[in-house]
Chains A and B, each alone.
Chain A
Amino acid sequence: MIHHLILRVVAKLLIPYILLFGLYVQFHGDFGPGGGFQAGVIFASAFVLYALIYGVEKARQVIPDAVLRVGIGLGVLIYGGTGVVSLLLGANYLDYSPLAHDAPHGQHIGIFAVELGVGITVASVMATIFFQFAGRSERDEED
């Protein structure tokens, strides 16, 4: 199953574009449909595809569990931290207006930051869940 040449080549061609599309959806969410949730899922699906074709162990080498675990927490931390920053700047929690010199710019930066946090958490959680499920069935086969 690991040796399908066509699948491997096609996956290798597709994965960079999936990652790029994920980033586009992430950072273009202000202007078109999309945002952190969708981008996170698309980003994770690139790793899922890699794991499906090359095996979960290889994918775990590409993106180690420790990185994913840090990512799960980091995203929420970025989100919550944005709120704390706006608290420190004298506004309400998660009010982004004081983050820049004028309110619309601050809103832009705030939305960008929280969407980034959402994206990181969603991508890490999705990849983690898949690795746990798929990795477990592969381990069971080894026994």
Chain B
Amino acid sequence: MAATVFMIVRLRSLFAVVMLSGIYSLLAAVMFVVLDAVDVAFTEAAVGAGISTVLMLGALALVKSEEKTPERTAILPLLAALVAGAALVYGTLDMPHYGDPNAPAQKHVAPTYLMESVPKTTVPNVVTSVLASYRGYDTLGETVVILTAGVGVLLLLGGRRRRRKPGKEGE
């Protein structure tokens, strides 16, 4: 994954960058499978590697396929990125180990969900019952976010066709 990211930063051909970001998503999906998060892996593979690659290619058809070379090397952003990255790595040192039963994530509401959700909802896939039932508000919010994205794209790109139909002049 690190190699993919490095190539994405280095390459100037946007087509290759789109393909590599698809590969990156696929690798992330594999990582989620290794962590036993099949639902997340499924989403990552379908959305990240599948549809967003296609959407990026669609957007790429509208713009030039070569990235402009920057006129000067950016030292300050590089420094900022390095400091932020180092801070994040430092933050992970305090994190509990993977699979630690005493981690806060395992102590808070997760046991309740795991113990109660199957008798209460009789839905075998706990992810689904947490997502749709216990966390129904969150999922409603996510759906509204997607709705907003669709409306935004329609407003930005959908209007142009109507403007063009009456008279072909302009632009």
Contacts and interface: CB of A to CB of B under 8 A. Distances in A.
B154 interface: yes
Interface in A103-132: 103-105, 107-108, 110-111, 114-115, 117-118, 121-122, 124-126, 128-130, 132
A104 B118 CA distance: 9
A96 interface: yes
Interface in B29-45: 38-39, 41-43
Looking at chain B's contact residues, the main secondary structure is: helix
B153 A72 contact: no
A140 B160 CA distance: 11
A28 to B, nearest CB: 9
Given A125-B146, A126-B51, A137-B61, A72 B123 contact: no
A33 B51 contact: no
Contacts of A115: 128, 132
Contacts of A104: 119-122
Contact of A33 (B39, B61, B139): B39
Interface in B112-144: 119-125, 127-129, 131-133, 136-137, 139-140, 142-144
Contacts of A122: 143, 146
Interface string B83-124: 000000000000000000000000000000000000111111
Contact of B128 (A30, A79, A137): A30
Contact of B54 (A48, A107, A140): A48
Contact of A128 (B43, B51, B123, B154): B154
Interface residues of A, number: 55
A36 to B, nearest CB: 8
Please report whether the interface of chain A is mostly helix, strand, loop or mixed according to DSSP: helix
A6 B125 CA distance: 40
B46 interface: yes
A121 B146 contact: yes
A94 B140 contact: yes
A137 B150 contact: no
B136 A114 contact: yes
Contact of A118 (B61, B125, B139, B160): B139
4 closest Cβ pairs, A-B complex: A125-B150, A133-B58, A94-B136, A107-B121
